[in-house]
Amino acid sequence: MIDHGLDDDHPKSIHCRTAARCLQQYLDSELRDEVLVEAISYHLELCRDCGMEAETYSRIKVAIASEGKAFDSETMVRLNRFLDELL
Binding positions for other proteins, rule: CB under 8 A? 24-25, 28, 30, 49, 52-53, 56-57, 59-61, 63-68, 71, 75-76, 78-80, 82-84, 86-87
CA angle 61, 15, 18 (to 5 degrees): 50
Report the nearest approach of other proteins to the CB of residue 51 (Å). Answer: 11
Report the nearest approach of other proteins to the CB of residue 45 (Å). Answer: 18
Q: Are 31 and 40 in contact (CB under 8 A)?
A: yes
Helix (H, G, I), strand (E, B) or coil at 69: coil
Pick 34 or 84: Cβ nearer other proteins? 84
CA angle 50, 22, 5 (to 5 degrees): 90
Interface with Zn ion, residue 47, by CB under 5 A: yes
Report the nearest approach of other proteins to the CB of residue 77 (Å). Answer: 11
Instruction: Give how far the C-alpha of residue 14 lies from the chain's centroid of Cα atoms, to the nearest Å.
Output: 18
